[in-house]
Amino acid sequence: MQRLYDFIRRHPTGVDTFWAVVLLGFSLLWVGTTYPAVGNPLAFGVVAVLFSLVVALRRRAPEKMLLLTVALGLVQLVFGLEPFIADFAMLVIVFTVAAHDGPRWASRLALVGGLSASTLSQLRWPMDGIDSVAATIFFTVIMTVPFALAWVLGDSLRTRRAYFAQLEERASRLEQEREAQAKVAVAAERARIARELHDVVAHNVSVMVVQADGAAYVMDSSPETAKQALETISTTGRQALAEMRRLLGILRTGEHQEAGEYVPQPDVQQIEDLVEQVRGAGLTVDFAIEGSPRPLPSGVELTAYRIVQEALTNTRKHGGPDVGASVRLVYFDDGLGLLVEDDGRGAPQEMYEDGGADGRGHGLIGMRERVGMVGGTLDAGPRPGGGFRISALLPLKPAH
């Protein structure tokens, strides 16, 4: 049964042609059996063939078949060809045009023609045996109902198809929007992980490079100092691996991880440890906290730590020899202030303006992105008296 239904859907014109042949056969049979009363069998035969053509091509050219039906109806009225079986094609074309998503004039014409067909037929060929006007009107209304129902059913089908098409389009649009949102979410996650990796790698590797250079320089003259430098390199490397493992674990969702494998995200309390690590690498850093420390949202904690980490990394990279730095954390009533300054050479102008034409300066871009994510503000640039300054204000809400 399903195969037959699929065949019918794939060959609509073939199916219509079959029913057109059936209609033509019954029409010619009627003409043959009523030959003495018909009076003009050739005319009826031509009209029957044309009405059958209307049924066969109703879905391929509905508007043209409607106009042909109107013309055939007028021919019947003018030449006195009484209604017969082939006139059933009028009902078919009224339904088809109403159901077709075509010009509205065709649907209106089909409605007007269908409603007036019975009336015109009664005026042209009054029914024998019906003398009262009321009976004539009643019979005319009864004959008009099938045309009205055909148009209503066709128009309802057209409206239903349009509704389902709209639902499909909306579903397709929502699917595209979900895909776009998923791509944006993936890009944002990649950017976040890239910022984390940059901060971890840039800071820890720079510390390791400085310690390695120092160890190589004093290897012969001061083995104990070189040993301390190597221990610092080892500790820094382990810290870098721990943070890298935590970040990579974010990408390995769905895999079973043992408890305690990943370290927690850095917070404000670990800034002092960060400063001590940088001091151990040979950079003089003054650290101070102002105000009353309080619990912070985790996003603010991580942002503050990464800003200080990136700022001190830039100081080592661009400050030059004998550079000194200072780190200030200020707790306000509604925010956390960060101020990191150094008295070195400072970064070149292109390093803190949109990443520079050479693609550098991604650390400061990452800072601005981090601060923007928590709704804060960041100001970075050279100090008037020399060196470089980074100041940030992060909005603060007490953690509950």
- Here the CATH number for the domain that contains residue 324 is 3.30.565.10
Indicate if the pLDDT at residue 68 is higher than 80: yes
- What tokens were used for 363? 């650390």
Q: CA 400 to CA 390: how far, in whole Å?
A: 30
Please enumerate in sequence order all residues whose Cβ is within 8 A of that of 215, keeping only pairs 6 or more positions apart, or say none: 225, 226, 229, 230, 233
Q: Binning pLDDT at 50, 70 and 90, where does residue 199 land?
A: low
Position 318, amino acid: H
User: What mean pLDDT, rounded, does the chain reach?
Assistant: 81
Please compute the mean of the pLDDT values over residues 341-370 and round it to a whole number: 62
Look at residue 178 and tell me if it is in a domain.
no
Find the domain containing 334 and state its range.
Answer: 264-400
Look at residue 325 and tell me if it is in a domain.
yes
Phi, psi angles (nearest 5°) of residue 64: -65, -40
Residue 179 vs residue 163, higher pLDDT? 163
Phi, psi angles (nearest 5°) of residue 296: -125, 155
Nearest CA to 379 out of 349, 351, 339, 347 is that of 339
User: Domain end: 101, 125, 149, which one?
Assistant: 125
User: Domain end: 59, 90, 125, which one?
Assistant: 125
- What tokens were used for 131? 């003398």
Residue 345 vs residue 116, higher pLDDT? 116
Indicate if the pLDDT at residue 398 is higher than 50: no
Indicate if the pLDDT at residue 30 is higher than 80: yes
Indicate if the pLDDT at residue 356 is higher than 70: no
Number of domain units in the chain:
2
163-177 pLDDT, tens digit each: 999 999 999 899 888
Please compute the mean of the pLDDT values over residues 121-144 and round it to a whole number: 84
Look at residue 131 and tell me if it is in a domain.
no
